[in-house]
Copies of this chain bind each other. A is one copy, B any other.
Amino acid sequence: MSTPLFKRAAFIGIGMIGSSVARAVRTHEVAGQIVCADINAAYRAKALELGVVDAAYESPAEAAKGADIVILAAPVGANKSIMQVLGPTLEPGCILTDVGSVKQAVLRDVAPLVPAGVHFVPGHPIAGGEKSGPEVGDGTIFKNRWCLLTPAEGTAVDAIAKVRSLWESIGSNVEVMDAARHDRTLAITSHLPHLIAYTIVDTAANLETDIQGDVIKFSAGGFRDSTRMAGSDPTMWRDIFLTNPDAVLEIVQRFTEDLNLLQKAIRKGDGQTLFDLFSRTKEIRERVILAKQN
């Protein structure tokens, strides 16, 4: 049996995404030891019970002791306070990475608290589910998905290579890119659709009770998909919107301009505009299928 890529992997946060990565790391024998820290005692207990980790600590510093890779997997809003405690304890040569859905804010919050000799390679696996907690983690969700790495200029290339290997070992394709480019892209592929889904469901929640009952009862297709996304972890998503505001607001602005045009077409009975738009979007759909991301 070959030597695992890492001696000890420490997950700071063992919720849905942390526990999914941990499971994948276990399955693919990427680390000799897998440990975690989490402020949530029930999460720690469950992760231990399920064998997702070999040890679970309340203190991030305890978890990171002797770790050659530390994976930040708490809501991105918690990174700064975690790093204020954890940062000084990280050992030279250690690799620090994360799984946050926004990257500029993570660099802004974390990079200044990374000690010399520790290699910070921010990452974002584009995968995940709507449920929360270590019991719903699923190590297979990274297979054939993208993981985007956004290390700052000057980061040690072998550290980046090791993080790339981690993700490739668990089935992902890796691309290294600029953090700003990441945030702009994810604003439309992920943040906007989630914001919209939350809004659709909230609009339904604000309807009169009798209509609301019908909406729940006869929900299928579009609304059901929206409710699925709107069932996502509130803390995680609050933090995403708070930490990627510029890109999100820009794309929401564009979206509302486009929606206004459609409202106008509907009001005026302009079938041609509607038909043309609906035909244009089929082409994007075909490209998504070709990119095998369907």
Chain B residues lying within 8 Å of A288, measured Cβ to Cβ, are 216, 219, 223-224, 227
CB atoms of A205 and B263 under 8 A apart: no
Q: Is A39 at the interface (CB under 8 A from chain B)?
A: no
In the complex, whether A206 has a CB less than 8 A from a CB of chain B is yes
Chain B residues near A229: list those with CB within 8 A: 221-222, 225
State whether A223 touches B188 (Cβ < 8 A): yes
Given contacts A238-B274, A269-B242, A274-B241, contact A195 B262 (CB under 8 A): yes
A266 contacts which chain B residues (CB < 8 A)? 241-242, 245, 248-249, 252
- A242 lies within 8 A of B271 (CB): yes
Interface residue from B218, B222, B271 paired with A192 (Cβ < 8 Å): B222
The one of B221, B232, B275, B291 in contact with A234, judged by C-beta atoms closer than 8 angstroms, is: B275
Contact present for A258 and B190 (CB under 8 Å): no
Question: Per-residue CB proximity of A190-219 to B under 8 Å, as 1/0?
Answer: 101111111111111111000100111111
CB within 8 Å for A227 and B284 given contacts A202-B277, A255-B200, A275-B234: yes
Tell me the count of chain A residues lying within 8 A, CB to CB, of chain B. 90
In the complex, the answer to whether B148 meets A218 with C-beta atoms within 8 Å is yes
Q: Determine which of B146, B216, B241, B262 lies in contact with A217 in the assembled complex, contact meaning CB atoms within 8 Å.
A: B146
CA distance A262 to B198 in the complex (A): 10
A282 proximity list for chain B (CB < 8 A): 230-231, 234
Residue among B197, B227, B278, B285 making CB contact with A222, cutoff 8 Å? B197
Bound CA span A205–B281, Å: 8
Residues of B within 8 Å of A238, CB to CB, are 271, 274-275, 278
Contact status of A224 and B293, CB under 8 A, knowing A200-B255, A258-B206: yes
**Smallest CB-CB separation from A181: which chain B residue?**
B214
Asked whether B252 lies within 8 Å of A263 as measured between CB atoms, the reply is: yes
Give the distance in Å from the alpha carbon of A102 to the alpha carbon of B214 in the complex. 15
Residues of B within 8 A of A281 (CB): 198, 201-202, 205, 227, 230-231
Query: Which residues of chain A from 268 to 294 have a CB within 8 Å of any chain B CB?
Result: 269, 271, 274-275, 277-288, 291, 293-294
| Residue numbers in B under 8 Å from A274 (CB-CB) | 234, 237-238, 241-242
Instruction: Contact check, B263 vs A259: say whether CB atoms are below 8 A apart.
Output: no
Residues 20 to 62 of chain A near chain B (Cβ within 8 Å): none
Q: Which of B145, B211, B221, B263 contacts A249 (CB 8 A)?
A: B263
4 extra interface residue pairs, beta carbon distance < 8 Å, beyond A189-B221, A207-B254, A216-B293 = A146-B218, A202-B280, A231-B285, A245-B269
5 chain-A/chain-B pairs, Cβ below 8 angstroms: A192-B200, A203-B258, A224-B288, A224-B293, A245-B266
Sorted nearest first, the 10 A-B pairs with minimum C-beta distance are: A193-B222, A234-B278, A231-B285, A230-B281, A189-B223, A201-B281, A185-B214, A238-B274, A227-B285, A238-B275
